[in-house]
Amino acid sequence: MVRTRIIGGTVIPVSERGLWYASGHVVVERGRIVSVGPGEGPSTPEDEVVDARGKYILPGFVNAHGHAAMTLLRGYADDLPLMDWLQKKIWPVEHGLTGEDIYWGTLLAIVEMIENGTTAFADMYFHMDRVAEAVAEAGTRAVLCRGIIGSGPDEGSRAIEESRAFVNRWHRAEDGRITATLGPHAPYTCPPQVLKRVAEVSAQLDVAVQIHLSETRSEVNQMMSAYGKSPVAVCAENGLFERPTLAAHCVHLDDSDIDLLRRFGVHVSHNPGSNLKLGSGVAPLPELLRRNVVVGLGTDGAASNNNLDLLEEIRLAATLHKGVHQDPVIVDADTALALGTREGARALFLEEGLGTLKPGAPADLIIMEAGSPHVLPLYNPISQVVYAARSGDVTDVMCDGRWLLRNREHQTLDRERILYHAERIAARFAP
């Protein structure tokens, strides 16, 4: 069995705060990390040796919330009031998306994410079989769900049954790289009986749940008018939080909401870039962390961000809250890097060890150029990656022990073909 031994680079394992090896190694065998540390590590004559001198080696980024195929609508409509943007621009086009469109749109997202160092992502959309096919081909890791909107009479039930079929086909497929969840869109689009039913079915299927939660002030107001309760309280009351739940956004939370999230062990995807751009607000990340809520970072869809650059979200997580709270130590670089890797993997209910470089963990890792002017000189590699590096510094990406990108060349996907199809499809929507 051939092992891969990556040597000579600065290793940032993200397994412990502040840990790094100036010239370290990572050894990978059968899809798992078997050794990490200083020096060259244990060698065998058959090792594939990768020279990472002048580079960083770190866990792949984990994108904890998004809608991959919305890359097709990247920049389609910007700088509009939220409801105009959604109702007049995004929804009409989404309504016309076919399974084939979504397949290519998802591949466009995955090509972008591989290039920026993302090895695992969450996705909520529709035509999810085509999404899963794209993930299978790309070799990346994903946590997928069919978005459930329950506004119409039978709409919720139909979407739940579709989700059940999807879970049965794809949960733990591709050597476990694909996991499936249920995906009630939000409490304002899923009435209580739908939330209850989702909780039941997710228990039957033994899968987790992803939901949008308390993204905007108007959502909270709407729920308060309808139920006299916050979106978080409505989910709690209808049994959703009895299930492992990943809640995206969580911008507008009061103290009792945060308490509910903590008590029920709800995980949160913090999406600072999308929350800023759509004018939703700034989530209480420092308070969530203080109360030990598990938080990952997400880009959201490319129609609202407008890229899938998780390193931008890591940097924002480390800087935005400092500024808003006027406190330069409130979220530090170590914490932000962990949110974008280890904690993101936890938030997605992935296997323990994922999002770190430690023996036994699945080998999801990236190599980044460390010798360019914008990342020199070097004093602290964790600071450098979080505050100075850019996603274009990523040169190599491995997921589950398999190279997806080597020296910036895709190993699993045909980039030109994907770009061709994405542009062909987008031509239909051009204003």
Site for a second copy in 102-161 (CB under 8 A): 108, 111-112, 115-116
Sequence-distant (6+) residues with CB within 8 A of 339 are: 270, 295, 296, 297, 314, 317
Q: Does 422 bind a second copy (CB under 8 A)?
A: yes
Q: Does 406 bind a second copy (CB under 8 A)?
A: no
Pick the closest to residue 382 from 7, 17, 64 (CA basis): 17
Q: Does 377 bind a second copy (CB under 8 A)?
A: yes
Beta bridge partners of 399: 402
Q: Does 379 bind a second copy (CB under 8 A)?
A: yes
Q: How far apart are CA 362 and CA 338, in angstroms?
A: 17
**Closest approach of a second copy to the CB of residue 108, in Å:** 6
**Region of 254-262, 341-349, 352-360, 381-389 interacting with a second copy (CB under 8 A):** 381-389
Q: How far apart are CA 124 and CA 410, in angstroms?
A: 25
Task: Find the helix or strand (DSSP H, E) in which 7 lies.
Answer: strand 4-11
Q: How far apart are CA 389 and CA 267, in angstroms?
A: 28
**Which residue in 21, 76, 121, 126 binds a second copy (CB under 8 A)?**
76
**Which residue in 62, 128, 333, 404 binds a second copy (CB under 8 A)?**
333
Give the SS3 label for residue 177: coil
Give the SS3 label for residue 352: coil
Q: Does 101 bind a second copy (CB under 8 A)?
A: no
Q: Does 69 bind a second copy (CB under 8 A)?
A: no
Nearer to a second copy (CB atom), residue 195 or residue 308? 308
**Which residue in 133, 155, 242, 332 binds a second copy (CB under 8 A)?**
332
Q: How far apart are CA 53 and CA 114, in angstroms?
A: 21
Pick the closest to residue 246 from 176, 204, 296, 281 (CA basis): 296
Q: Does 18 bind a second copy (CB under 8 A)?
A: no
Q: Does 366 bind a second copy (CB under 8 A)?
A: no
**Region of 77-85, 157-165, 190-198, 236-244 interacting with a second copy (CB under 8 A):** 77-85
**Which residue in 195, 289, 320, 399 binds a second copy (CB under 8 A)?**
320
Q: Does 239 bind a second copy (CB under 8 A)?
A: no
Q: How far apart are CA 342 and CA 265, in angstroms?
A: 17
Q: Does 414 bind a second copy (CB under 8 A)?
A: no
Q: Does 80 bind a second copy (CB under 8 A)?
A: yes
**Footprint of a second copy on 273-292 (CB under 8 A):** 273, 275-282
**Which residue in 35, 43, 157, 307 binds a second copy (CB under 8 A)?**
307
Q: How far apart are CA 212 and CA 207, in angstroms?
A: 17
Whether the CB-CB separation of 232 and 211 falls below 8 Å is answered with no
**Closest approach of a second copy to the CB of residue 426, in Å:** 3
**Footprint of a second copy on 28-57 (CB under 8 A):** none
Other residues' Cβ atoms within 10 Å of the Cβ of residue 17: 11
Cis omega before residue 116 (within 30°)?
no
**Which residue in 48, 78, 161, 414 binds a second copy (CB under 8 A)?**
78
Whether the CB-CB separation of 122 and 415 falls below 8 Å is answered with no
Q: Does 337 bind a second copy (CB under 8 A)?
A: no
Nearer to a second copy (CB atom), residue 45 or residue 377? 377
